[in-house]
Structure formats: C-alpha cells, structure tokens
Amino acid sequence: MAEAATEKFWDMIGDFETCMVTTRDGRQLRSRPMAPKISRERGEILFVTDRSSHKVDEIQADDQVACSFVKKEEYVAVSGTASVTTDRARIEEAWDAEAEAWMPGGKNGPDTAILVVRPHQAEIWDVTSNKISQAWEFAKAYVGDKPRPDTTENIKVDL
C-alpha cells in the first residue's frame, strides 16, 4: 500500500502547473505561487527562483517548507525541507519558457537558482466520486444517515 501511495503522490503532483510554497519569515509564514518541476528519480520538487529573493534568505534561516497543490477536486499538501542550488545542471533540468519570462538574466544569469524541496510527508485528497454520487452522499449526510459525505479518498504518505 505504501508504494502505491507514493506512486500516486508523484503521479498527482506531476500534473500540477502551480503550487503555493510556504516558508517561515521569522515568526510569520509566507506563501507564494511557484511552478514545480518534478525530479521523481531524485525524489525532489524543483522551482526556478531568483537567488536574491526573500524566500532564499528564509530557507537559509529555516529549511522547513510546505507546498500546497490544488486543482479541481485534487489536493496535495507536502511538508519537507528545502535548499537552494546554483548548479547549472539542475537549472537546465528545471528550465522552461515560463522560467525565461520570470528570470530576465536567463538560465545562465548570476541570480538564477533552483529551490530544491525534498518531501518528507504528503497528504492527498482526491475526489473519487462523480457529481451524482457526490449529491447522493451530501443528501445522506444532510438527513442524518451518515455523519459526513463519503466522496473523497484521503491518504497520508511518508516519503
């Protein structure tokens, strides 16, 4: 079961174009949207970033991060650790046309870096029922036949 859940995790996050990456800024939490690139063979989530950004300072002070992936009826929450690298091979691996738009210095620019997230745990919520089944489940919960609707698969994954 654990291996299937891990596979489901990597399959799901590979389909997301954006996620919210949360870091700690002193006592405050800060989230920002970023475009993930998946390095499944390394077990990492990569993000192109500007080396002089606040998030780099925040990660150097506290490497704990959270990533929240959301799209229609699929939700994944990830907790893990992060680091920043300027390794050119890693930049090349994560680089695409969208990164080009955000990084005016290009992939060889002195401020171009990669935020590397190593997930430790994830939680997946995947709505598995169709709209008719969902309506039926909500109706049963509303009239008291069930304590809550059963429309979503929820899995915790240790990575």
Read off the tokens for 128.
Answer: 């598995």
47 pLDDT higher than 50: yes
pLDDT tens track for 63-102 = 999 999 998 888 999 999 999 999 999 999 999 999 988 8
What pLDDT is recorded for position 45?
98
Domains and CATH numbers, the chain: 2-158 (2.30.110.10)
pLDDT score recorded for residue 106? 93
Read off the pTM: 0.82
Cα–Cα distance for residue pair 147/141, rounded to 1 Å: 6
The pLDDT-based confidence of 110 (bands split at 50, 70, 90) is very high
Lowest mean pLDDT of 23-27, 42-46, 148-152, name the range.
148-152
pLDDT of residue 135 exceeding 60:
no
pLDDT of 146 reads 52
